[in-house]
Amino acid sequence: MYQAFVNTFNAMVENKEYFIEKWKKELKSENVLVRYKAKQFMGILADAEKVEEFDVIMFLGLLRKMGRR
């Protein structure tokens, strides 16, 4: 599970332009939660760098952001 998180996070960082453009489209949603989450994830990826190993603090922080409603 740890390596899967690292691989997925790094793939998102490597393709951050794609994801940021995708989330920019979500900013036009009528759903306030969708707009809020898109803005959060854009902020996370904007300055993100690839990680070498699992970081429990980052992992739990991302889970918290994903789960808030």
Give residue-wise pLDDT tens across range 5-49: 999 999 999 999 999 999 999 999 999 999 999 999 999 999 999
Residue carrying structure tokens 């994830």: 41
* The predicted structure's pLDDT at residue 68: 59
Report DSSP state, residue 33: H
The radius of gyration of the chain's CA atoms, rounded to the nearest angstrom, is: 13
* The predicted structure's pLDDT at residue 9: 94
Pair 51, 22: CB distance under 8 Å: no
State the sign of the Cα–Cα–Cα–Cα dihedral 50, 54, 55, 60: positive
Is residue 67 predicted with pLDDT exceeding 90?
no
